[in-house]
Structure 1
Amino acid sequence: MGYFPDDTSALFIDGELRPTDGGTYPVVNPATGEQIGHAANGTPGDADAAIAAARRAYDTTDWTRDAAFRAHCLRQLHARLTSDLEEIRAVTIAEVGTSHTMTTGPQMEDPINGLLYWADLAEKFDYSENKGSHELMGITSRHEVRREGAGVVAAITPWNFPHQINFAKIGAALAAGCTVVLKPAPDTPWTGALLGVAAADTDLPAGVFNVVTSESNDPGQRLVDSPDVDVVSFTGSSATGRHIMASAAPTLKKVFLELGGKSAAIVLDDADLATACMMTAITCTLHAGQGCVFTTRLIVPREQLGEAIETTKGVMAGIVPGDPNDPGTMCGPIISPRQLERVSGYVELAKKEGGTIEIGGEVFDSPTGGGNWYTPTLISGLDPHSRVAQEEIFGPVLVILPHDGDDDAVRLANDNPYGLSGAVWGTDPDRIERAVRGMRTGTLSVNGGQYFGQDMPFGGVKQSGIGREMGEAGFEEFLEYKSIGYGV
């Protein structure tokens, strides 16, 4: 296919791969710090062109009315991508810094295969419902409710799990009958741009799907501001999410936000402490902790705090950051020097806030001779209201806190502005259920259970976001209801 690197320095607008007046900008491998190529540096003008193409495709074609054709195009896109999995894998590892092993799951293969879920849902979904006849003020009418694609969608995505998040938005929006402009994160443009390369070889009508990569956030801002964009679907930081809500308000857009997390793993006093500590340590350090759903607060019984610290330290000692090309690597590099500085800054802040660095807390000697690396880190002794215990760090940093019983554990878990995910570890079903009911979070794991799947709604409460992605709930985020009364 030739993804790597030439075709990924082009934008995909109105059915064509094209250059931009903005030139290109360097793409850097976070594991080595080396420049590995260039990406198209799209401009606000490019965003305008993509919006115009998407608007025209929505308004003047049968895309939103032909579910079978939408399913056909999604299956074509899936086939095109799966025919080049190894080349896409190389791009993903080099650009994202994710491990080879993770690309066989949520970092690449699972979301690509998810296109088939969206294709199937596009075909089987009931877009209209007959509500029967009703009389109002002497007029008898037959009532019908239809669901139609919501319009032009701006999909603005982050760098940590780009394939997963790109396809969650693109797949659902296209399946629902929307047209899409994708603005990938500046740090990971290739994983977005290669979708344009693949789409160019399908029957997708011109303008239905567009990709604008850029070093700047200005094209994304243009998408949010434009009156021709009907829906903004954004995943990223809570600060940026608040800005997007404010920017979208003048045009009263529909806004979906999947934002930050500071998820808690509650360990009840009847749980298998060793397993709970081990799994939480692994989860927190997977992909160098760069996941919004990862549990980064470990809440354990106060009388077991010392044992929990020693167990977690032992697990973390065995997690050595490594080359992401090595299939055995779990903890890879930090995405950028900027993010590495952020992680280091939070650990230094923890010391000032009275925390004890039980293990880690250091920039790690590179296993590749360059790049951005940090040691898996466990911090104890913090006040639950300290900044490090409250704020999202996005690095391999775990805070351990003691609780004084089940109710106190739930209180500590909820005493945070976020509510994206969490975990409960225990034995007694009734106590587990009380904790599950009590935790204010959009997703939850019980004793290591996996809640994530194509058919499972994903999203958070409180400052973790608005709306749901994935599953039928995520599909319906891209639909609007139309209520019709037919005179009889």
Structure 2
Amino acid sequence: MISQHLGQFLIGGAWVEPGPGASRMGVENPATEAMLAEVALGTAADAEAAILAARAAFDGWTATPVAERIALLERVLALYRERIQDFADAMRLEMGAPAAWAREAQAWAGEVHLEATLEAAQRFHWEEQRGTTRIIREGIGVCGLITPWNWPMNQIACKVAPALVAGCTMVLKPSELAPLSAALFAEIMQEAGCPPGVFNLVNGTGAEVGQVLASHPAVDMVSFTGSTRAGVAVAQAAAPTVKRVAQELGGKSPNILLPGCDFAAAVRAGVEGCMANAGQSCDAPTRMLVPRARMAEALEIAAAAAEAQRPGDPLDPATTMGPLIGRMHWDKVQGLIAAGIAEGARLVAGGPGRPQGLNAGHFARATVFGDVTPDMTIAREEIFGPVLAVMGYDSLDEAVRIANDTVYGLAAYVQGPEAEARAVGRRLRAGQVSLNNPPWDVHAPFGGYKQSGNGREYADWGIHDFCEVKALVGHG
């Protein structure tokens, strides 16, 4: 599904043509390398026009009763459900995602986050009395929302929904690499009756539009999801105006397999988790830690699980893994695979180049390295591709030390007997620790320690991030 509005921006409630100096960029299907459409890339002036529209709309919107803001989000959810297959088709095209994954993971994620935010908003403590003081939570102001290409609807829903119910107005800058689904989302925001200026969309690059959102004095908050490198640039641009910055950045998540776990099942699940979304997830379990004495067994199971992945045509029901987002990213992943080989890691599955039989598309091979040591590049850098590093440990203390030996701290995973897994989980320096492969909890806080960012998303946690807290002292 390709929107007719890719060449326009939604500003002040209307689809408008880009201003002077705007350019256009082809949108590629990474599974075929064919161009799907062209997207307009805005300038600083386009970004400022959207910011000023959001600023003009803020006073009226933030004074709107919470019940009306919730009602708007309910209409957005209803329209999203009606068009969910359109969203799935858009992400299949712009990401090359397998059709089932696009529908059951990518499009589904947007739906469940809208639902979770609605549930949270209905029970949220917008006001409370503490002694003679009235505590009020109200929208922080104009928000710049910068979202990535790897989970388009997940991240748009996680930012737009809480900002909307909190009483904020906003400018969304989606990734220019995957703009199709964002344009559809803007259409349903308009159809749902969103007041002019409350939600605005401007496509563009981070260097142009993103930097304006981060630095503009009329923007009160920036919520950014992307690489740590880009997150640093956003924070630096935001610093002079002392605006709030919420960031969900990179990760190098450990997956500790305890001696008492169901070893074969845990290894297979770890490989599948790493390879999901072609490894292009910031919380992917990319470092598997196994008892050193069981390394050979782990590698045999992991290699078989990696070789069972089926990259290929997104419309083929047998396809389980899509391509990387583009040639530049494919080259980066290939360079890191080469670094793993050069530094002496043991390659047991996959490796350089495209999968056999695929001569087009930015596909990478499902790759597993064994006997990886903590000093190796593939153990330290976020690869953002289907590459798993299997590492050995001799004691739980060593496993925890290796797991925490990273500049990142977004997610971590532990497999094993319940009490032991809980104890190990408490020792891991990560914002979200999953014990024994639980279902995705969209009400759990999501965000990172260290260079994985700050702030938390999902449900009421996301609403909190978009609120200021006011104390009316003597209100009693």
Is 1:470 the counterpart of 2:458? The answer is yes
Mapped partners of 2:112, 2:250: distance in 1: 26
Partner of residue 355, structure 1: 345
* Paired position in structure 2 for 1:182: 172
Q: Report the Cα offset of residue 309 of structure 1.
A: 0.8
Alpha carbons of 1:80 and 1:27: their partners in 2 closer, same or farther (altered >3 Å)? Answer: same
Question: 1:303 matched to which residue of 2?
Answer: 293
Name 1:430's counterpart in structure 2.
419
Corresponding residue for residue 57 of structure 1? 57
Whether the 8 Å contact between 1:64 and 1:149 is mirrored in structure 2 is: no
- Aligned 8 A contact 2:162 2:463 in 1: yes
Specify the alignment match of 2:31 in structure 1: 31
Q: For 1:390 and 1:128, locate their aligned partners in 2 and report how far apart those are by CA, in whole Å.
A: 44
Matches within 5 A, 1:223-302: 223-302=213-292
User: What does residue 108 of structure 2 align with?
Assistant: 109
Match of 1:43 in 2: 43
**Equivalent-residue separation in structure 1 for 2:250 and 2:63 (angstroms):** 32
Are positions 1:448 and 2:437 aligned together? yes
Counterparts of 1:123-272 in structure 2, within 5 Å, are 123-133=122-132, 143-215=133-205, 217-272=207-262
Contact 2:171 2:199 in 1 (8 A): yes
Distance 2:67 2:410 in 1: 34
% same residue: 35
Mark the runs of 5 or more structure 1 residues left unpaired by the alignment.
Answer: 134-142
State the alpha-carbon separation in 2 of the partners of residues 51 and 398 from structure 1. Answer: 42
SS in 1 for 2:86: helix
- Whole-angstrom distance in 2 between the partners of 1:366 and 1:125: 52
- CA-atom RMSD, angstroms? 1.7
How far off its partner does 1:121 sit? 3.1
Alignment CA distance shift 1:265-1:64 (3 Å): farther
Deviation at 1:216, TM superposition (A): 5.5
Query: Equivalents in 2 of 1:350, 1:64: separation in Å?
Result: 56
C-alpha deviation, 1:126, in angstroms: 2.3
Does structure 1 residue 459 correspond to structure 2 residue 457?
A: no
Distance 1:367 1:460 in 2: 39
SS in 1 for 2:232: helix
Q: Give the deviation of 1:454 after TM superposition.
A: 2.6
Given that 2:9 and 2:15 are in contact with CA atoms closer than 8 Å, whether structure 1 keeps it comes out as yes
Report how far residue 324 of structure 1 moved.
1.9
Corresponding residue for residue 419 of structure 1: 409
Tell me the distance in 2 between the aligned counterparts of 1:424 and 1:307: 18
The alignment partner of 1:422 has SS state of: strand
Shift, 1:487, TM fit: 6.9
For residue 370 of structure 1, the aligned residue among 336, 343, 360 is: 360
Distance 1:105 1:364, change over 3 A: same
Separation in 2 of the partners of 1:44 and 1:149? 25
d(CA) in 2 for partners of 1:454, 1:282: 20
1:10 aligned residue: 8
1:352-398: CA deviations, max 9, x gaps? 21212111112224767521011100112332122211110000000
Q: What is the letter of the counterpart of residue 448 of structure 1?
A: N
Task: Assess, with a 3 A threshold, how the Cα gap between structure 1 residues 301 and 248 changes in structure 2: closer, same or farther.
Answer: same
Please give the secondary structure, in 1, of the residue aligned with 2:138.
strand
User: Which residue is 2:66 aligned to?
Assistant: 67
Q: Report if the CA contact (8 A) 1:366-1:372 is conserved.
A: no
Q: 1:320 Cα deviation (Å)?
A: 2.2
Instruction: Confirm or deny: 8 A CA contact 1:106 1:164 kept in the other structure.
Output: no
415-424 or 316-325, which deviates more: 316-325
TM-score by length of 2: 0.96
In structure 2, what is the equivalent of residue 137 of structure 1? none
Aligned partner of residue 483 in structure 1, secondary structure:
strand
For residues 131-162 of structure 1, give each alpha carbon's deviation from its aligned partner in whole angstroms, at most 9, with x where no partner exists: 233xxxxxxxxx21111001111110111001
1:76 is aligned with what amino acid?
R
1:404–1:480 distance in 2 versus 1, CA, 3 Å = same
AA aligned to 2:82 is S
1:329-356 per-residue CA deviation (whole Å, 9 max, x = no partner) reads 2211010000000000001111221212
Which segment drifts farther, 361-370 or 61-70?
A: 361-370
In the alignment, which residue of structure 1 is the partner of 2:314? Answer: 324
**What is the total number of aligned residue pairs between the two structures?**
474
Provide the rounded CA distance (Å) in 2 between the counterparts of 1:64 and 1:461.
34
**Partners of 2:410 and 2:256 in 1: how far apart?**
14
C-alpha distance in 2, partners of 1:115/1:365? 37
Work out whether residues 64 and 176 of structure 1, in 8 Å CA contact, stay in contact via their aligned partners in 2.
no
For 1:18, give the aligned amino acid. V
What is the CA distance between 1:278 and its match in structure 2?
A: 0.3
Q: Secondary structure at the match of 2:286?
A: strand
Q: Give the secondary-structure state (helix, strand or coil) at the position aligned to 1:71.
A: helix
Residues 371 and 392 in structure 2, CA contact (< 8 A), matched pair in contact too? no
Alignment counterpart, residue 439 of structure 1, candidates 428, 440, 444: 428
Amino acid paired to 1:155: L
Distance in 1 (alpha carbons) for counterparts of 2:214 and 2:43: 14
Superposed displacement of residue 196, structure 1: 1.6
| CA distance in structure 2 between the partners assigned to 1:398 and 1:235 by the alignment | 23
Give the partner amino acid of 1:412: I
SS in 2 for 1:232: strand
Per-residue deviation at 1:106? 3.2
Who is 2:470 aligned against? 482
Post-superposition CA distance 1:186-229 (Å, at most 9, x none)? 21112212222222212211000011112563111000010111
Deviation at 1:64, TM superposition (A): 4.3
